[in-house]
Amino acid sequence: MSEALNIQLPIFEGPFDLLLHLIRENEVDIYDIPIAEITAQYMEYLQAMEALDLEIASSFLVMAATLLAIKAKMLLPPTESGEEENTPEDARAELVQDLIEYLHFKEAAEQLQDLHDLTSLQYSRPNVEELYLSLLSPENPISDKTLWDLSRAFAEVLSRLPASPPMLDIEREQVTIQDKTRDIVAALKRQPRGLPFSVVFSVCRSRVECVAAFLALLELIRLLKVRISQSGVYDEIYLYKRN
């Protein structure tokens, strides 16, 4: 019973990739390529591909023709006319120059791939300032207003609230963000020309209700249902319902 013969050929991106492989395997100087030997090995590789019924790209065949042409010229005796044009050495030098350029591009591509692999393992911290600015309306005349301005305005509202009474056993206040969202939307409908930021919290009876109202406002801004505007630094912030 005969055993199956497994043949594995290395995969090359193109003819120059194959030539560089043969040069490295033979440990020869790229500036002094033994054309006859390299051509023979190159043709053996193409024959192996044909034997395995593999499709050979046209670029490999063009390179094979080039190598055979250079080899044929180098086997011919030198002419006595003294003409130096189109000599086999010139053809080989041109091939070497193309190989060197290909090698430079190949090394650059490998370095870029290594850099890509390295950066793909890294995660940069998002720009919090840009994230907050994205919540503001592009119609805002003060372009540097951020969520911190809303937070500062909210802190001022809290500072005007009376101090908390001594701790007592009282029933837990039931205030939801959904309730405050409905209240803010209703207030915006009543004041389409602009609802002052402070008015949103003027009806709040406790800090818990203020916090719920503030979270509801942030959610409306995130959902692009409310836009904010301020005419000047430290002026009142106004809320508008988006259409």
Please count the CA atoms within 13 angstroms of the CA of 34 that sit on its side-chain side. 12
Strand 237-241 with 195-196, pairing:
antiparallel
Strand 226-230 with 237-241, pairing:
antiparallel
The Cα-based distances of 181 to 15, 154, 186, 216 in angstroms read: 68, 16, 9, 5
In order along its 243 residues, the chain shows pLDDT tens digits of 344 334 445 567 778 888 888 888 888 787 778 888 888 888 888 888 777 666 777 778 888 888 888 888 777 766 665 555 556 677 778 888 888 888 888 888 888 888 888 877 776 665 656 655 555 555 554 455 566 777 777 777 777 776 666 655 556 667 888 888 999 899 888 888 888 888 888 888 888 888 888 888 888 888 888 888 888 777 888 888 887
Minimal CA–CA distance to 228: which of 190, 188, 189?
Answer: 188
Residues 70-98: tens digit of each pLDDT: 888 777 766 665 555 556 677 778 888 88
pTM over 0.85: no
